[in-house]
Amino acid sequence: MIRREFIKQATVLSSGAAIAPNLLIANTNNKESLKGFIVSDAHFGWKTPKWAEKMQPSPEKQQEAMKNILNRFPDLDVFIDTGDAHHNDHHNNENPYKARENWVDIIQGGCGQVPFYYVLGNHEIRSNEDADPEMRCNIMGSATCRPYYSFDIQGIHFISFPELIRAIYITEEEWDWLELDLSVNRDKTIIMLSHNNIIGTTTGNEPGYRGLMDSEKMLQIFKRNRNIIAWMHGHNHNYEIVNRQNMLFVSNGRIGGFDPSAGKYGIGGIYFEISTDGILVKCYSAELNSFLDKFDSSLVQEMKTKTSFNLEDGSAYSYGVGGAINGEYIPAYHHHIGENSKTELFLTGCSHPVINDDPGMTKYAERTAYHGLDKILLAAKVNHGNDSYEYLNPGIRLNANNNWWTTVTMPGDNYDTHTYYRCPVGKKYKVSIDFDVKGEGTQRLWLRLHIYDIEGRLLRILQSEEIKLGKGRKKLERVIDVPEINNFETIYNNPECDNLVNIAIEASFTGMNTDVDLFSIKLEQPNDNQDTYDAGVIIDDKKYQLKGLLEKGEIVPIPIDNSLNQRSVNKIIAAGNRRVTYLVRHSNLKWQVRNAIVTYKNNTIEIGKIRNHISDKMEIVIAPLQKMNEPYLQRIRKAEQIQLEPFNSLTRSLSVKVSKVYKEAEIEVFSTIEPKQIKGVEQWEYDKNIILAKFIKPSNVEIIF
């Protein structure tokens, strides 16, 4: 990358002169390595209570910390944020919109031309005051598809693996997709990135809130996949490195939020290097401008292990969906490109037809928070108060009560308007329920589907007939037809629309004058087999489909057309159990484009509309994923719909055609060569290797060197 080449040149040219310390620290073990930095838990917008008044830093202080990090480590290959970018709206945040803008400007935009990746945290995913929080997080971090994804840099494979319903809960679709991703990348060294810690590794295991629900399942995955060398997470705000089962478990500290160190360490993050023979991790305080091993030697650790690091390996980005549903439309917003990139589709089957998480209600926790004991079903919600049910392990007992109705919803926690399950319309769905009425009474039951769009609008409520309940164990199922919904624009009646559809299940009981034991609620499309058959994905109207049985764990790669649109729509095909897990991998990438969608066609980088309007800067950031030795466009402000012809060594020029301008537009070009002429702009200047040009209307900008 240009930064590294420039630093090397500066070091050579300065022979006999004092070299700034920040130029020496970047390669602390004096060998080629991948260099990265992780921040976590910025918590922008947290209006601190009196007991925490000195904990949350100001945005100005956080911005200064980011500058200190980039000055101290000037040749980073990747910058990562592991979540809690801001506080959720109902938890001491006066202005969540401003908080998100601060994060976009200070963290995501503040890391400059370093490739940036974001793993969402529990505060963002539970912030549902205005729109779908998952989609908003994808927009904030320029994620292509779902918040779980992976990327490769210099031969090292990183996986974003967040908790998507509660702070401690990984959804079933994530587990399915992870299994596929790990199988596809068995020959690579893997770093896993998440927001929460794993019980038994780093500290912080408050029940129901800290420590992953399925920690043992994750530890078993590590044992089967010895190429995973680190789990690096946020959430706990402490700096900690634990070496266990030939892995490093790293708590990424804090760049905001509450302070477990009581002011000792300050705000900062984690610096790491990965070479061919190991990983080095250093906890760093940007506030003190110091590594933290001076306080505790365990806060710098190196683990020797052979890795797949290769300085010459190209970058890659992978995305997809676990357990995708027949007929589902899934948008993919492309932010990575390369002239000679390669695109592949990988398919594997599913082992059952059930769409919803934890249908048997086996995932349960209790948390003692500020307001008393919280009883938490991780993937369901019992309405009419937390005292209206008991946990049977598995299943729950709905207690007789004086209320005239009791409902169980999946997903739960009153967030069904914005969270799972993404489902297609125009399909039939089967709802199954298994329960035991403990005595004779007047109980009645309705099985309902609530259909929402991602804006939280209720599109339909569809329900079964009234079902009279007698005493005893019963297993019932009803098929509910979800029609095409044409009075609201969604992706299903307009594939160019970004509006997706969610379905929530509800079992609604009335006349609860006796207890009812509830063992399971299942949502599925009517099916004829437990396995996947005839699976495929239609991408930009091109069909990629297999015929016959596709078992879970059987991986089938399919090369696909590389000339994808800026925004693709993946349409799912699956018979049998009607579900398939897929992964799309783009490799040999050259550019990451943040905040706007992009494609590469006819030797031109085509940047489309701005996707991220959270910040008033309306800034598009272009980060090189390969070493660059020629001028390149690195930032665009207040403009979109851009055709960029990269630097041409024959004509010694770089061209930018801008079709849409908002007020005064700006472009920034990195160049160690001073330009001779710039056409199509009102004004420009060149200083410290940056060309800054401004114009007020659509223009064909040509920079001649």
> Left (φ > 0), alpha (ψ -120 to 50) or beta: where does 200 sit?
left
> Residue 201 falls within a domain, yes or no?
yes
Average pLDDT over residues 480-509: 94
Place of tokens 């490195």: 241
Which of 663, 568, 70 shows the shortest CA–CA distance to 336?
568
Do 578 and 605 sit in the same domain of this protein?
A: no
- The overall longest dimension of the chain from CA atoms, in Å, is 93
Decide: 606 and 335 in contact? Cβ < 8 Å.
no
Do 228 and 341 sit in the same domain of this protein?
A: no
Do 520 and 573 sit in the same domain of this protein?
A: no
Q: At what angle do helices 172-184 and 215-224 cross, to 10 degrees?
A: 10
The rounded percent of the chain whose pLDDT value lies above 90 is 78
Question: 358: exposed, middle or buried (C-beta count within 10 Å: 0-12, 13-18, 19+)?
Answer: buried
Q: What are phi and psi of 348, to 5 degrees?
A: -145, 155
Do 390 and 513 sit in the same domain of this protein?
A: yes
Name the β-bridge partners of 118: 81
pLDDT at 30: 43
Structure token pair of residue 411: 């997903």
Gyration radius of the chain's alpha carbons: 26
Which of 497, 467, 504, 508 shows the shortest CA–CA distance to 482?
504
Decide: 42 and 85 in contact? Cβ < 8 Å.
yes
Do 514 and 546 sit in the same domain of this protein?
A: no
Local confidence band at 440 (pLDDT 50, 70, 90 cut-offs)? confident
Do 280 and 299 sit in the same domain of this protein?
A: yes
Structure token pair of residue 120: 């969402």
pLDDT at 12: 29
Alpha helical stretches, state H, 243-320: none
Alpha-carbon span 481 to 478, nearest angstrom:
10
Question: At 494, which CATH number?
Answer: 2.60.120.260
pLDDT at 166: 84
Alpha-carbon span 252 to 383, nearest angstrom:
37
pLDDT at 693: 97
Local confidence band at 586 (pLDDT 50, 70, 90 cut-offs)? very high
Do 247 and 274 sit in the same domain of this protein?
A: yes
DSSP secondary-structure letter at 7? H
Instruction: Kindly write down the DSSP assignment for every residue of 57-103, as one continuous string.
Output: PPHHHHHHHHHHHHHHSTT-SEEEE-S--B--TTTTBS-HHHHHHHH
Question: At 578, which CATH number?
Answer: 2.60.120
> Residue 205 falls within a domain, yes or no?
yes
3-state secondary structure 472-505: EEEEEEEEEEECCCCCCCCCCCCCCCCCCEEEEE
Range of the domain at 685: 590-704
Which of 83, 55, 58 shows the shortest CA–CA distance to 236?
83
Tens of pLDDT along 287-298?
999 999 999 999
Alpha-carbon span 545 to 242, nearest angstrom:
44
Alpha-carbon span 53 to 35, nearest angstrom:
35
Checking if the pLDDT of 588 tops 50, the result is yes
pLDDT at 89: 65
Q: At what angle do helices 96-103 and 133-141 cross, to 10 degrees?
A: 30
Do 372 and 476 sit in the same domain of this protein?
A: yes
Give the domain-ending residue among 524, 544, 568: 524
> Residue 8 falls within a domain, yes or no?
no
Name the β-bridge partners of 437: 472, 516
Checking if the pLDDT of 309 tops 70, the result is yes
Decide: 633 and 662 in contact? Cβ < 8 Å.
no
Neighbours of 246 (CB within 10 A): 13
Average pLDDT over residues 568-584: 98
Alpha-carbon span 227 to 309, nearest angstrom:
12
Do 477 and 613 sit in the same domain of this protein?
A: no
Tens of pLDDT along 93-110?
778 889 999 999 999 999
DSSP secondary-structure letter at 422? B
> Residue 318 falls within a domain, yes or no?
no
Local confidence band at 29 (pLDDT 50, 70, 90 cut-offs)? very low
List CB contacts of 15: < 8 A, sequence separation 6 or more. Answer: none
Element (H, E) at 6: helix 2-13
Structure token pair of residue 99: 């908080």
Local confidence band at 387 (pLDDT 50, 70, 90 cut-offs)? low
Do 520 and 535 sit in the same domain of this protein?
A: no
Q: How far apart are the first and last CA of the chain?
A: 20
Place of tokens 């908790």: 163
Alpha-carbon span 607 to 584, nearest angstrom:
21
Domain count across the chain? 4
Among the listed ranges 206-220, 381-395, 429-443, which one has the minimum average pLDDT value?
381-395
Checking if the pLDDT of 14 tops 70, the result is no
CA distances from 230 to 104, 169, 233, 246 (A): 27, 20, 10, 9
Q: What are phi and psi of 24, to 5 degrees?
A: -90, -30
b/e map of 456-495 (b: 16 or more CB within 10 Å)? Answer: beebbebbbeebebeeeeeeeebebebeebeebebbbeee
Alpha-carbon span 696 to 665, nearest angstrom:
6
Tens of pLDDT along 224-275?
999 999 999 999 999 999 999 899 999 999 999 999 999 999 999 999 999 9
> Residue 14 falls within a domain, yes or no?
no
Instruction: Kindly write down the DSSP assignment for every residue of 433-453, as one continuous string.
Output: EEEEE-S-S--EEEEEEEEEE
Structure token pair of residue 490: 């969604």
Structure token pair of residue 620: 């598009």
Checking if the pLDDT of 17 tops 50, the result is no
Alpha-carbon span 120 to 203, nearest angstrom:
20
Decide: 160 and 81 in contact? Cβ < 8 Å.
no
Higher pLDDT, 403 or 522: 522
Do 258 and 281 sit in the same domain of this protein?
A: yes
Structure token pair of residue 109: 């935009």
Helix (H, G, I), strand (E, B) or coil at 125: helix
Neighbours of 593 (CB within 10 A): 25
Which of 351, 355, 353, 314 shows the shortest CA–CA distance to 336?
314
Do 576 and 652 sit in the same domain of this protein?
A: no
Alpha-carbon span 349 to 553, nearest angstrom:
7
pLDDT at 199: 95
Checking if the pLDDT of 377 tops 90, the result is no
pLDDT at 128: 64
> Residue 481 falls within a domain, yes or no?
yes
Checking if the pLDDT of 692 tops 90, the result is yes
pLDDT at 374: 75
Question: At 696, which CATH number?
Answer: 2.60.220.10
Which of 592, 588, 590 shows the shortest CA–CA distance to 114?
592
> Residue 692 falls within a domain, yes or no?
yes
Tens of pLDDT along 162-217?
998 888 999 999 999 999 999 999 999 999 999 999 999 999 888 889 999 999 99
Checking if the pLDDT of 419 tops 70, the result is no
Decide: 270 and 25 in contact? Cβ < 8 Å.
no
Arithmetic mean of pLDDT over the chain: 90
Alpha-carbon span 163 to 195, nearest angstrom:
7
> Residue 45 falls within a domain, yes or no?
yes
